[in-house]
Structure 1
Amino acid sequence: MTTTDDSFPLDVEIGALTGGPAELKQYAGRPVLVVNVASRCGLTPQYAGLERLQERFAERGFTVLGVPCNQFLGQEPGSAEEIAAFCSATYGVSFPLTEKVEVNGEGRHPLYERLTGSADAEGHSGDIRWNFEKFLIGRDGRVAARFSPQTEPEAAEVVAAIERAIG
């Protein structure tokens, strides 16, 4: 599976949740699971699985990258401080979070312009369907896999794809 844009998807500017640039270029050559996240969604408990993936694979060069988004029924309304506090206190999140962005529509962030051309195993490409849609970027900088929002972070297919990306 490849993205329609052959450039490194993380070669874009985006702010960190806590201010300043997120410096996504630091992840070049490393597998990254990019996930649009929200704090008030029925899928919010996926934060726990994402954190376990981070803990399990971080020493092997892998990271989860959370991208807060408020486009789906206003389920991420908080400020940067509120989002950071919620993620830390509720789920012990240690993986990096970016600033809140739009993932669909005219205001779609360039990161998602690059990611959404990739299809998942069912053939879905294009717009993000809901919170917690996942994109695995391989060491080569290309989208290696896309997973629906309902796919749990620790599902066998996600873990297998991460294992392949880590090498």
Structure 2
Amino acid sequence: MIYNAVREATAVQKVSLQSRSGMRNSHLAAAITRTRDHLDSPIAPMIIAQDLGISTRQLERLFGKDLNASPKKYYMKMRLERARHLLVQTEMSILDVALACGFEIPGYFARVYRTAFGVTPIMQRGRLSQTAPRPYGHDSLAGRRGCKGPRSGQQTGRASPATQPMEVGKPAFRADRP
């Protein structure tokens, strides 16, 4: 099949991964391309090596030499970066993001994501929603743990939880107790 498509003048020309990254090894470039094409359904490094006609050990040496990571770790990094992109740029549910990145168990996805980025996927989404301050009464935390918020015309003297920056590893709601 032959395509006679004309690229628009403003369109970015696609450049191969090998020339973009300066990789000299075509096997490594092919392995990376193969992993990127299968982020939603991970494939084992052994299968990739077989498809490329090299041993699994040779594939591991290529990744270690040029990328300072094993194929498995590099693959996980790519999946997590894709998950982070989907969480930040789309409104997909966290379950759909996990599945789109090849994680069949949401709990495992959350644990691996937190290890990599220091926040859970839910916290990542919470950070995004906190960028636009909301009135105190409309906060999702209002009404929890006896917190009723200020009454009409009453000033609290402190920022509402919706406008306070969230610290990593700390709960978003802290009750003031003596």
Q: Could you say which TM-score interval applies, normalised by the shorter chain?
A: under 0.3
Q: Report the structure, 1 or 2, having the larger strand content.
A: 1
Report the structure number with the largest CA radius of gyration.
Answer: 2
Q: Report the structure, 1 or 2, having the larger helix content.
A: 2
TM-score (norm 2): 0.22
Q: Which has the higher contact order (CA 8 A, sep 6+)?
A: 1
